[in-house]
């Protein structure tokens, strides 16, 4: 087996572990709430604190890789993740569980950016589309399997096993990483080893306030507080950007965002997969609470979504090197927009064909965009800057999902104050469909010929 294949396997295992932990706990909320006497707000922080940990640790991934080497960081991350996961399974209070989930996120948050950096630098530009397709398939598999696996575990064992079940796979990843990954041989100048502590503190405060504000945005009685937090977060992050461009060795090289492909790929991820997370949330509420569909019937709709997403991911792997990102992005935006419009036309439960078409189109269009974005993001990034680009990309990916859920929830709440419930849902879907025009127009600025030239160089 080639060395780069081994590295890719280790990275994909880390990616899968991270995603499983993000989704598997959701189905255990009722059991956790009953066992630990937790409120709904506290239960949401079981996931939010984990995401916060992932986001806060990501900015220092590049510095740690330079300082002690990617292999050591990956092994340390896996080791700490095993410890914090086991402790989370033994938590006897909701406060302790939330704290351990934060530590779990901080421990595992390095797996994706470090693994992604180690893997991508071993693949040439024309090979990264197929690699990205495999990554996206893993990204599709984890959220698809997590609810079913989590539900089975909670029913047959108890909620603590949604954490313990991760341990065998994480141990396998740790052993493979120890055996397969080579020690870093590249030496870096001494001045690159100084951590921008001030920048880390500013970024951490800004990112925490932003995530907390987005979390509160979906809570009706916390709307004013959410706006204050978001305004403060933006001010802090603007100050961080100013600090970053003035610092000789910033925490993250934000100048990379000037790279057109990375920037547009990030925007596509925000407006397509990110917005879909919000659309999917309110669609689940609409179909069950408004139209009276059962939970199992609604859950089945993710099957055509998953199958269509799988087809789109495979197509990107085959077509990206021939057509480039521009047509794939634009087609994906168009198809997702049409899928959301189809969803807005469903007003009764006896429209199974329209439901099938809607979720199939959203799965195909969204995954066409997300897979093409993953393939494009690092295409013109040199190996020296890959660690910083990976960290920036993963922070954007995490926040895209949070922003999508928060904004769509807020839009629905505001509309329900002024129009009837059915109209509120429909207008929300119309707005979400209209938003797909933003990345569609941004893609017009992609120099597709230059991209194809780079791929085939």
Last residue of a domain, one of 250, 273, 290: 250
DSSP state of 121: T
Secondary structure (DSSP) of 66-115? HHH-HHHHHHHHHHHHHHHHHHHHT--SHHHHHHHHHHHHHHHTTHHHHH
Same domain flag for 202 and 176: no
Same domain flag for 26 and 86: yes
Same domain flag for 213 and 343: no
**Which pLDDT tens digits describe the chain residue by residue (457 residues)?**
899 999 999 999 999 998 888 878 877 888 888 899 988 678 878 888 998 899 999 999 888 888 888 899 999 999 999 999 999 999 999 999 999 999 999 998 899 899 998 998 888 877 888 888 888 888 888 777 776 777 788 888 888 999 999 999 999 999 999 999 998 754 445 555 578 889 999 999 999 999 889 888 877 788 889 899 999 999 999 999 999 999 888 888 899 999 999 999 999 999 999 999 889 888 888 887 788 887 667 767 878 888 899 999 999 989 999 999 999 999 999 999 999 999 999 988 778 899 999 999 999 999 999 999 999 999 888 888 888 999 999 999 888 988 888 889 889 888 988 999 889 999 999 999 999 999 999 999 999 998 898 887 6
Last residue of a domain, one of 155, 190, 225: 190
Taking Cα atoms as reference points, which of 58, 2, 34 lies closest to residue 393?
58
> Can you tell me which residue has the tokens 């127009």?
441
Q: How far apart are CA 439 and CA 450, in angstroms?
A: 19
Same domain flag for 245 and 262: no
Same domain flag for 433 and 286: yes
Last residue of a domain, one of 250, 269, 290: 250
Same domain flag for 41 and 17: yes
Same domain flag for 31 and 133: yes
Same domain flag for 285 and 217: no
Same domain flag for 331 and 239: no
> Can you tell me which residue has the tokens 């507080």?
225
Can you give the residue range of the structural domain that contains 209? 196-250
Number of compact structural domains in the chain: 3
Same domain flag for 360 and 413: yes
Q: pTM here? A: 0.86
Same domain flag for 180 and 201: no
Same domain flag for 327 and 225: no
Domain at 144, CATH number: 1.20.1250.20
């Amino acid at each position: 087996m080639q060395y780069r294949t081994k590295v890719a396997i280790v990275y994909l295992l880390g990616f899968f572990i991270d995603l499983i932990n993000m989704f598997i706990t959701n189905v255990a909320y009722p059991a956790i709430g009953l066992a630990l006497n937790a409120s709904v707000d506290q239960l949401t922080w079981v996931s939010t604190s984990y995401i916060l940990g992932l986001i806060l640790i990501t900015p220092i991934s590049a510095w740690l890789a330079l300082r002690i080497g990617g292999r050591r960081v990956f092994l340390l991350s896996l080791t700490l993740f095993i410890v914090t996961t086991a402790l989370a399974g033994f938590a006897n209070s909701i406060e302790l569980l939330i704290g351990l989930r934060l530590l779990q996120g901080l421990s595992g948050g390095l797996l994706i950016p470090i693994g992604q950096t180690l893997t991508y630098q071993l693949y040439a530009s024309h090979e990264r589309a197929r690699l990205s397709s495999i990554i996206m398939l893993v990204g599709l598999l984890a959220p698809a399997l997590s609810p079913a696996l989590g539900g089975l575990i909670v029913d047959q064992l108890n909620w603590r096993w949604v954490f313990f079940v991760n341990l065998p796979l994480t141990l396998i990843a740790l052993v493979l990483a120890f055996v397969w990954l080579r020690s870093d041989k590249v030496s870096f100048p001494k001045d690159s080893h100084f951590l921008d502590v001030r920048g880390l503190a500013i970024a951490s405060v800004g990112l925490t306030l932003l995530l907390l504000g987005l979390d509160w945005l979906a809570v009706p009685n916390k709307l004013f507080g959410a706006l204050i937090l978001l305004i403060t977060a933006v001010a802090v992050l603007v100050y961080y950007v100013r600090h970053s461009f003035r610092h000789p060795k910033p925490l993250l090289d934000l100048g990379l965002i000037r790279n057109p492909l990375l920037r547009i790929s990030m925007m596509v991820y925000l407006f397509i997969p990110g917005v879909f997370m919000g659309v999917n949330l309110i669609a689940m509420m609409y179909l069950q609470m408004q139209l009276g569909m059962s939970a199992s019937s609604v859950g089945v709709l993710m099957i055509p979504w998953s199958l269509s997403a799988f087809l789109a991911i495979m197509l990107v792997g085959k077509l990206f090197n021939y057509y480039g990102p521009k047509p794939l992005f634009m087609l994906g935006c168009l198809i997702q927009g049409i899928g959301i419009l189809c969803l807005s036309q469903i007003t009764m439960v006896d429209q199974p064909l329209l439901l099938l078409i809607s979720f199939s189109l959203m799965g195909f269009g969204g995954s066409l965009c997300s897979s093409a974005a993953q393939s494009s993001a690092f295409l013109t990034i040199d190996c020296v800057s890959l660690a910083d680009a990976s960290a920036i990309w993963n922070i954007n990916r995490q926040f895209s999902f949070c922003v999508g859920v928060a904004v769509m929830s807020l839009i629905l709440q505001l509309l329900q104050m002024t129009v009837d419930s059915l109209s509120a849902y429909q207008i929300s879907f119309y707005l979400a469909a209209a938003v797909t025009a933003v990345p569609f127009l941004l893609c017009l600025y992609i120099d597709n010929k230059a991209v194809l030239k780079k791929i085939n160089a």
